[in-house]
Amino acid sequence: MKRTLLWLVIIGLAAGFLGAQEYKGKGRVFGIVTDEQGNPLEGVTVKLFYVKAQQGFSVKTDKQGKWTAAWIRGGQWYIDFEKIGYAPKKISVELQEFQKNPELKIVLTKIEGLVVTDEIKEMLEKGNKLFEEQKYDEARAVYEEILNKYPDAYPIWKNVGNCYFAQEKYAEAEQAYLKILEKDASNADAFVAIGNTYLNRGDQTKAFEWYAKVDINKISDPVVMYNIGTIYYNNGRFEEALAYYKKAVETQKDFTDALYQLGLAYLSLQKNQEAINTFEEYLKIDSNSPRADQVRAFLSYLKR
Protein backbone atom coordinates (compact mmCIF):
# COMPACT_ATOMS: atom_id res chain seq x y z
CA MET A 1 0.00 0.00 0.00
CA LYS A 2 2.78 2.40 0.96
CA ARG A 3 4.65 1.54 -2.25
CA THR A 4 1.52 2.25 -4.31
CA LEU A 5 1.04 5.61 -2.60
CA LEU A 6 4.69 6.46 -3.20
CA TRP A 7 4.34 5.75 -6.92
CA LEU A 8 1.18 7.86 -7.04
CA VAL A 9 3.06 10.73 -5.44
CA ILE A 10 5.96 10.34 -7.91
CA ILE A 11 3.58 10.17 -10.88
CA GLY A 12 1.72 13.22 -9.58
CA LEU A 13 4.93 15.21 -9.19
CA ALA A 14 6.09 14.19 -12.65
CA ALA A 15 2.79 15.25 -14.18
CA GLY A 16 3.03 18.59 -12.39
CA PHE A 17 6.59 19.04 -13.58
CA LEU A 18 5.69 18.28 -17.17
CA GLY A 19 2.62 20.52 -16.96
CA ALA A 20 4.81 23.38 -15.83
CA GLN A 21 6.96 23.02 -18.96
CA GLU A 22 4.42 22.32 -21.66
CA TYR A 23 6.13 24.83 -23.96
CA LYS A 24 9.24 22.61 -24.10
CA GLY A 25 10.01 20.57 -27.20
CA LYS A 26 12.85 20.04 -29.64
CA GLY A 27 12.56 23.23 -31.68
CA ARG A 28 14.80 26.27 -31.83
CA VAL A 29 14.30 29.88 -32.87
CA PHE A 30 16.80 32.71 -33.11
CA GLY A 31 16.97 36.32 -34.17
CA ILE A 32 18.67 39.71 -34.04
CA VAL A 33 17.47 43.08 -32.70
CA THR A 34 18.82 46.39 -33.97
CA ASP A 35 18.00 50.07 -33.73
CA GLU A 36 16.78 52.12 -36.68
CA GLN A 37 20.36 52.70 -37.85
CA GLY A 38 21.08 48.98 -37.91
CA ASN A 39 23.18 48.95 -34.74
CA PRO A 40 22.80 45.79 -32.64
CA LEU A 41 20.98 46.25 -29.33
CA GLU A 42 22.35 44.40 -26.33
CA GLY A 43 20.19 43.55 -23.32
CA VAL A 44 16.82 43.46 -25.08
CA THR A 45 14.40 41.26 -23.15
CA VAL A 46 12.79 38.74 -25.50
CA LYS A 47 9.65 37.23 -23.96
CA LEU A 48 8.35 34.07 -25.64
CA PHE A 49 4.81 32.90 -24.83
CA TYR A 50 3.43 29.56 -26.11
CA VAL A 51 -0.24 30.18 -26.78
CA LYS A 52 -1.46 26.57 -26.49
CA ALA A 53 0.04 26.03 -23.03
CA GLN A 54 -0.33 29.65 -21.88
CA GLN A 55 3.27 29.50 -20.68
CA GLY A 56 6.58 31.00 -21.63
CA PHE A 57 10.04 32.21 -20.73
CA SER A 58 12.51 35.03 -21.47
CA VAL A 59 15.98 35.44 -22.94
CA LYS A 60 18.16 38.49 -23.62
CA THR A 61 20.16 39.67 -26.62
CA ASP A 62 23.96 39.60 -26.53
CA LYS A 63 26.44 42.28 -27.63
CA GLN A 64 25.71 41.48 -31.27
CA GLY A 65 21.98 41.92 -30.66
CA LYS A 66 21.46 38.17 -31.14
CA TRP A 67 19.27 35.84 -29.12
CA THR A 68 18.37 32.16 -29.20
CA ALA A 69 15.52 30.19 -27.65
CA ALA A 70 15.96 26.41 -27.66
CA TRP A 71 13.85 23.41 -26.71
CA ILE A 72 10.52 24.84 -27.82
CA ARG A 73 7.37 23.23 -29.22
CA GLY A 74 5.83 24.00 -32.54
CA GLY A 75 2.75 26.18 -32.79
CA GLN A 76 1.71 29.77 -32.28
CA TRP A 77 3.97 31.91 -30.12
CA TYR A 78 3.69 35.54 -29.01
CA ILE A 79 7.08 37.23 -28.75
CA ASP A 80 7.64 40.60 -27.05
CA PHE A 81 10.81 42.70 -27.38
CA GLU A 82 11.49 45.24 -24.62
CA LYS A 83 14.39 47.56 -23.81
CA ILE A 84 14.40 50.70 -21.73
CA GLY A 85 14.36 53.77 -23.97
CA TYR A 86 12.82 51.97 -26.94
CA ALA A 87 9.22 51.41 -27.97
CA PRO A 88 8.31 47.78 -27.19
CA LYS A 89 7.38 45.51 -30.08
CA LYS A 90 5.03 42.51 -30.09
CA ILE A 91 4.80 39.87 -32.80
CA SER A 92 2.91 36.61 -33.34
CA VAL A 93 4.67 33.77 -35.19
CA GLU A 94 4.04 30.13 -36.08
CA LEU A 95 7.15 28.21 -35.08
CA GLN A 96 8.20 24.75 -36.24
CA GLU A 97 9.51 22.09 -33.87
CA PHE A 98 11.18 19.74 -36.35
CA GLN A 99 12.14 22.20 -39.10
CA LYS A 100 14.49 25.18 -39.09
CA ASN A 101 12.75 28.43 -38.22
CA PRO A 102 13.78 31.57 -40.13
CA GLU A 103 15.83 34.22 -38.33
CA LEU A 104 13.62 36.92 -36.78
CA LYS A 105 14.95 40.41 -37.54
CA ILE A 106 13.47 43.08 -35.28
CA VAL A 107 14.03 46.85 -35.32
CA LEU A 108 13.23 48.86 -32.18
CA THR A 109 12.51 52.58 -32.30
CA LYS A 110 14.23 54.95 -29.87
CA ILE A 111 11.82 57.08 -27.86
CA GLU A 112 12.19 59.90 -25.36
CA GLY A 113 11.83 59.21 -21.66
CA LEU A 114 11.49 56.01 -19.69
CA VAL A 115 9.39 53.08 -20.85
CA VAL A 116 8.37 51.18 -17.73
CA THR A 117 8.54 47.49 -18.58
CA ASP A 118 6.94 44.71 -16.55
CA GLU A 119 10.32 43.89 -15.00
CA ILE A 120 10.76 47.27 -13.29
CA LYS A 121 7.14 48.37 -12.79
CA GLU A 122 6.70 46.55 -9.49
CA MET A 123 10.02 47.79 -8.11
CA LEU A 124 9.32 51.36 -9.20
CA GLU A 125 5.91 51.33 -7.52
CA LYS A 126 7.54 50.02 -4.34
CA GLY A 127 10.14 52.80 -4.39
CA ASN A 128 7.52 55.48 -5.06
CA LYS A 129 5.38 54.23 -2.18
CA LEU A 130 8.36 54.41 0.19
CA PHE A 131 9.14 57.92 -1.08
CA GLU A 132 5.57 59.04 -0.39
CA GLU A 133 5.93 57.63 3.12
CA GLN A 134 9.08 59.77 3.49
CA LYS A 135 11.24 56.67 3.87
CA TYR A 136 13.88 58.21 1.64
CA ASP A 137 16.81 55.87 2.32
CA GLU A 138 14.64 52.81 1.68
CA ALA A 139 13.17 54.35 -1.47
CA ARG A 140 16.62 55.27 -2.78
CA ALA A 141 17.81 51.70 -2.20
CA VAL A 142 14.98 50.40 -4.40
CA TYR A 143 15.71 52.94 -7.15
CA GLU A 144 19.41 52.09 -7.08
CA GLU A 145 18.56 48.39 -7.28
CA ILE A 146 16.60 49.10 -10.47
CA LEU A 147 19.54 51.04 -11.92
CA ASN A 148 22.00 48.27 -11.05
CA LYS A 149 19.80 45.72 -12.79
CA TYR A 150 18.70 47.95 -15.68
CA PRO A 151 21.40 50.59 -16.39
CA ASP A 152 19.42 51.86 -19.39
CA ALA A 153 16.73 53.14 -17.01
CA TYR A 154 18.82 56.28 -16.41
CA PRO A 155 15.79 58.62 -15.91
CA ILE A 156 15.38 56.90 -12.51
CA TRP A 157 18.47 58.80 -11.38
CA LYS A 158 16.03 61.68 -10.93
CA ASN A 159 14.19 59.61 -8.32
CA VAL A 160 17.50 58.94 -6.57
CA GLY A 161 18.31 62.65 -6.62
CA ASN A 162 14.87 63.51 -5.29
CA CYS A 163 15.46 61.27 -2.27
CA TYR A 164 18.69 63.12 -1.48
CA PHE A 165 16.99 66.46 -2.16
CA ALA A 166 14.18 65.67 0.29
CA GLN A 167 16.87 64.97 2.91
CA GLU A 168 18.56 68.30 2.10
CA LYS A 169 21.64 66.44 0.84
CA TYR A 170 21.99 68.77 -2.11
CA ALA A 171 25.51 67.83 -3.23
CA GLU A 172 24.51 64.16 -3.45
CA ALA A 173 21.30 65.12 -5.24
CA GLU A 174 23.30 67.07 -7.81
CA GLN A 175 25.53 64.07 -8.51
CA ALA A 176 22.47 61.90 -9.11
CA TYR A 177 20.94 64.43 -11.51
CA LEU A 178 24.24 64.71 -13.37
CA LYS A 179 23.97 60.98 -14.15
CA ILE A 180 20.97 61.82 -16.35
CA LEU A 181 23.02 64.35 -18.33
CA GLU A 182 25.65 61.69 -19.02
CA LYS A 183 23.01 59.90 -21.10
CA ASP A 184 20.91 62.87 -22.23
CA ALA A 185 23.00 66.04 -22.40
CA SER A 186 20.03 68.37 -23.02
CA ASN A 187 17.59 67.00 -20.44
CA ALA A 188 15.58 70.01 -19.21
CA ASP A 189 14.37 68.27 -16.04
CA ALA A 190 17.96 67.59 -14.98
CA PHE A 191 19.02 71.20 -15.62
CA VAL A 192 16.15 72.47 -13.47
CA ALA A 193 16.75 69.91 -10.73
CA ILE A 194 20.44 70.82 -10.48
CA GLY A 195 19.53 74.49 -10.46
CA ASN A 196 17.18 73.79 -7.56
CA THR A 197 19.99 72.21 -5.55
CA TYR A 198 22.03 75.40 -5.88
CA LEU A 199 19.04 77.61 -5.10
CA ASN A 200 18.48 75.67 -1.88
CA ARG A 201 22.18 76.00 -1.07
CA GLY A 202 21.82 79.77 -1.34
CA ASP A 203 23.82 80.11 -4.56
CA GLN A 204 21.42 81.97 -6.86
CA THR A 205 24.10 82.80 -9.42
CA LYS A 206 24.93 79.13 -9.97
CA ALA A 207 21.26 78.17 -9.86
CA PHE A 208 20.32 80.51 -12.68
CA GLU A 209 23.32 79.39 -14.71
CA TRP A 210 21.73 75.96 -14.74
CA TYR A 211 18.22 77.25 -15.42
CA ALA A 212 19.61 79.19 -18.39
CA LYS A 213 20.81 75.94 -19.97
CA VAL A 214 17.21 74.94 -20.68
CA ASP A 215 16.20 75.38 -24.33
CA ILE A 216 12.60 76.56 -24.07
CA ASN A 217 11.92 75.53 -27.66
CA LYS A 218 12.70 71.90 -26.85
CA ILE A 219 10.20 71.65 -24.00
CA SER A 220 6.82 70.20 -24.95
CA ASP A 221 5.32 69.74 -21.48
CA PRO A 222 3.41 72.88 -20.33
CA VAL A 223 3.79 71.85 -16.69
CA VAL A 224 7.59 71.90 -17.01
CA MET A 225 7.37 75.34 -18.63
CA TYR A 226 5.12 76.55 -15.82
CA ASN A 227 7.44 75.21 -13.11
CA ILE A 228 10.50 76.89 -14.62
CA GLY A 229 8.55 80.14 -15.02
CA THR A 230 7.52 80.02 -11.39
CA ILE A 231 11.12 79.58 -10.25
CA TYR A 232 12.05 82.73 -12.15
CA TYR A 233 8.95 84.58 -10.91
CA ASN A 234 9.55 83.71 -7.25
CA ASN A 235 13.06 85.12 -7.57
CA GLY A 236 11.96 88.40 -9.13
CA ARG A 237 13.12 87.56 -12.66
CA PHE A 238 9.86 88.50 -14.32
CA GLU A 239 11.01 88.76 -17.94
CA GLU A 240 12.31 85.19 -17.89
CA ALA A 241 9.16 84.04 -16.08
CA LEU A 242 7.03 85.75 -18.71
CA ALA A 243 8.65 83.78 -21.54
CA TYR A 244 7.91 80.43 -19.88
CA TYR A 245 4.34 81.31 -18.87
CA LYS A 246 3.59 82.50 -22.41
CA LYS A 247 4.96 79.28 -23.84
CA ALA A 248 2.94 77.20 -21.38
CA VAL A 249 -0.29 79.00 -22.32
CA GLU A 250 0.46 78.71 -26.04
CA THR A 251 0.89 74.97 -25.58
CA GLN A 252 -2.20 74.51 -23.39
CA LYS A 253 -4.67 77.35 -23.73
CA ASP A 254 -6.88 76.26 -20.81
CA PHE A 255 -3.97 76.00 -18.34
CA THR A 256 -5.47 78.30 -15.71
CA ASP A 257 -2.46 78.25 -13.37
CA ALA A 258 -0.18 79.42 -16.18
CA LEU A 259 -2.71 82.05 -17.34
CA TYR A 260 -3.01 83.46 -13.82
CA GLN A 261 0.77 83.63 -13.37
CA LEU A 262 1.16 85.13 -16.84
CA GLY A 263 -1.18 87.93 -15.79
CA LEU A 264 0.81 88.48 -12.60
CA ALA A 265 4.08 88.57 -14.56
CA TYR A 266 2.67 91.25 -16.89
CA LEU A 267 1.41 93.14 -13.83
CA SER A 268 4.84 92.94 -12.17
CA LEU A 269 6.42 94.38 -15.31
CA GLN A 270 3.77 97.14 -15.43
CA LYS A 271 2.48 95.89 -18.77
CA ASN A 272 -1.05 96.70 -17.76
CA GLN A 273 -2.88 96.19 -21.05
CA GLU A 274 -1.29 92.78 -21.53
CA ALA A 275 -2.26 91.92 -17.94
CA ILE A 276 -5.86 92.99 -18.63
CA ASN A 277 -6.01 90.86 -21.77
CA THR A 278 -4.61 87.84 -19.95
CA PHE A 279 -6.94 88.14 -16.95
CA GLU A 280 -9.94 88.50 -19.27
CA GLU A 281 -8.88 85.30 -21.02
CA TYR A 282 -8.62 83.65 -17.62
CA LEU A 283 -12.24 84.50 -16.75
CA LYS A 284 -13.43 82.88 -19.98
CA ILE A 285 -12.16 79.57 -18.59
CA ASP A 286 -12.69 80.02 -14.85
CA SER A 287 -15.30 82.47 -13.60
CA ASN A 288 -16.50 80.88 -10.35
CA SER A 289 -13.48 79.97 -8.24
CA PRO A 290 -12.04 82.09 -5.40
CA ARG A 291 -9.10 82.87 -7.69
CA ALA A 292 -11.53 84.18 -10.30
CA ASP A 293 -12.66 86.73 -7.69
CA GLN A 294 -9.02 87.82 -7.31
CA VAL A 295 -8.74 88.17 -11.09
CA ARG A 296 -11.83 90.38 -11.18
CA ALA A 297 -10.30 92.52 -8.43
CA PHE A 298 -7.11 92.91 -10.50
CA LEU A 299 -9.17 93.90 -13.55
CA SER A 300 -11.16 96.43 -11.55
CA TYR A 301 -7.91 98.00 -10.31
CA LEU A 302 -6.26 97.99 -13.75
CA LYS A 303 -9.26 99.55 -15.54
CA ARG A 304 -9.61 102.55 -13.18
Q: What pLDDT digit, counting tens, does each position of 58-115 carry? A: 999 999 999 999 999 899 899 989 887 788 888 888 999 888 999 999 999 887 656 6
Q: What is the pLDDT of residue 169?
A: 97
- Looking at 107, 129, 146, which one is the last position of a domain? 107
Mean pLDDT of the chain: 87
- Looking at 203, 230, 254, which one is the last position of a domain? 203
Q: Give the chain's domain count.
A: 3
Domain membership flag for residue 13 = no
Query: What is the CATH number for 158?
Result: 1.25.40.10
Statement to judge: residues 220 and 302 lie in one domain: yes
| Percentage above 70 pLDDT, the chain | 90
On the CB side of 47, how many CA atoms lie within 13 Å of its CA? Answer: 16
Statement to judge: residues 164 and 102 lie in one domain: no
Statement to judge: residues 222 and 304 lie in one domain: yes
Q: How many CB atoms lie within 10 A of CB 292?
A: 17
- Looking at 107, 123, 145, which one is the last position of a domain? 107
Average pLDDT over residues 6-27: 55
Q: What pLDDT digit, counting tens, does each position of 258-300 carry? A: 999 999 999 999 999 999 999 999 999 999 999 999 999 999 9
Q: Is the Cα torsion angle 130, 136, 137, 142 positive or negative in sign? A: positive
The residue type of 137 is D
* Confidence category of residue 12, pLDDT binned at 50, 70, 90: very low
Cβ-count burial 173-183 (b if 16+ within 10 Å, e if not)? bbbbbebbbee
Domain membership flag for residue 3 = no
Statement to judge: residues 101 and 133 lie in one domain: no
Statement to judge: residues 222 and 303 lie in one domain: yes
Query: What is the CATH number for 79?
Result: 2.60.40.10
Tell me which of 220 and 158 has the higher pLDDT: 158
Statement to judge: residues 98 and 41 lie in one domain: yes
Q: What is the pLDDT of residue 5?
A: 46
Decide: 114 and 152 in contact? Cβ < 8 Å: no
Residue span of the structural domain in which 193 resides: 115-203
Statement to judge: residues 220 and 195 lie in one domain: no
Statement to judge: residues 103 and 125 lie in one domain: no
Statement to judge: residues 192 and 228 lie in one domain: no
Q: What pLDDT digit, counting tens, does each position of 161-176 carry? A: 999 999 999 999 999 9
Statement to judge: residues 60 and 101 lie in one domain: yes
Domain membership flag for residue 208 = no
Q: What is the pLDDT of residue 220?
A: 79
Statement to judge: residues 177 and 193 lie in one domain: yes
